[in-house]
Amino acid sequence: MKILVTGGTGRIGSNLTKKLLEKGHEIRCFTYPGDVNRVDRWKGNDRVETVLGDLREYEDVKKAVEGVDAIYHIAAAFGGPFNNREYLAINGMGTLNILECVREFNKDIHRFVYASTEAIYWQLTEKGRLFNELITEDMVAKYHHMPYFLTKWIGEELCMTYHHQYNVPSTVFRFATVVEPSEFLNDDGLPKLFVFSTIYNRYKNYKGDDPAELETAKAVMKAWNGEEKFILKRNPDGRPYKEHFTDIRDIVQGLVLGIEKDAAVGQEFTLGGNGVFDFEEVIPYLCERYKMDYADIKLTNPNYFEFDLTKIKTLLDFEPQHDIASILDAAEAMKRGEDVGIIPTGVRWGKG
């Protein structure tokens, strides 16, 4: 198939494009011209056509959509120099532009796959992420944070509306937090998510007057002896942190199934992997692996959640492969300069 990948030079889009090429597809990569560091990612590959354009410009989108068999809409405003209006224009109107072009110029498209986010489950009106049951696809929050969470949810709603109203064969994947292994370790070769110094640096100059934060700051200062260690983070109620992450290789696997499985049409899926990090289990493992100690600290911001992957496993035969050990193995190999089949995020391909 000829497949359009918006954001095909980015963190996820590059690795998706690589996998699609391995499967024999031809790719049209829609890239924002302002991303000068990555515009030449696929230069010289005769099976990848790179099209520069802006999702906000209908004519740019039209040129990208015409003549393709399937679309992965991965590109989005995320963390960049955008205000709220620009977020909505890119993530909302940009998605609408693609859908309108499909409706007008590519009515027989095989599949439209939209990259959404786990964030649509997070409650705007509640602090932290505390779920006492597995998160299923029907547990979408009533309100969403601006700018990224809300505007991605708007894009998702557009995709499913165009499926039901205009018969666009849409599929939505809500990504759990994505781990790209080359980003997982700090300069000392330790998994940055679990090191104590990050929390220490957050609290060492705390000047607020919140009683709970002051208590946490006191505990952090007492536990710090100047040597790096891991941290077993606990929720305010004493339970260990539990967070659900997904290796980028599992993200790519799920995305590919989105065009290969007919059961994907008209469905929203949480796309998560085997990276369920229960700190009471992960920290002892890390201490053994790296021969280090840990500190046990209760934090004020709750984090306790895991996604129910029954739907994606049942309908799409999704089988995630990568747990904490696999992620660390890949991260350490990449740090040594070895090729593990992942395109690292930090590589620059343009002239910037």
Contact 130, 235 (CB under 8 A): yes
Does residue 203 fall inside a structural domain? no
C-alpha 133/C-alpha 237 separation (Å) is: 16
List for the chain the helix, strand, coil content (%; round to 5): 40, 20, 40
Does residue 124 fall inside a structural domain? yes
Q: What is the mean pLDDT of each run of 10 residues along the chain (352 residues)?
A: 96 97 98 82 94 97 98 93 95 98 97 98 95 98 96 98 98 98 97 97 94 96 97 98 98 98 98 98 98 98 98 98 98 97 81 50
Q: Supply the pLDDT for residue 35.
A: 77
Does residue 341 fall inside a structural domain? no
Contact 100, 107 (CB under 8 A): no
Q: For 226, left (φ over 0), alpha (ψ -120 to 50), or beta?
A: left
Does residue 294 fall inside a structural domain? no
C-alpha 250/C-alpha 96 separation (Å) is: 28
C-alpha 106/C-alpha 97 separation (Å) is: 13
pTM here is 0.96
Q: What angle do the packed helices 11-22 and 248-260 form, to 10 degrees? A: 50
Residue ranges making up the domain that contains 124 = 2-177+247-272+306-321
Does residue 219 fall inside a structural domain? no
Q: Supply the pLDDT for residue 298.
A: 97
C-alpha 286/C-alpha 283 separation (Å) is: 5
Contact 154, 88 (CB under 8 A): yes
Give the domain CATH number at 103.
Answer: 3.40.50.720
Does residue 352 fall inside a structural domain? no
Does residue 82 fall inside a structural domain? yes
Q: Supply the pLDDT for residue 350.
A: 58
ω into 147 cis (within 30 of 0): yes
Q: Supply the pLDDT for residue 349.
A: 62
Does residue 342 fall inside a structural domain? no
Number of domain units in the chain:
1
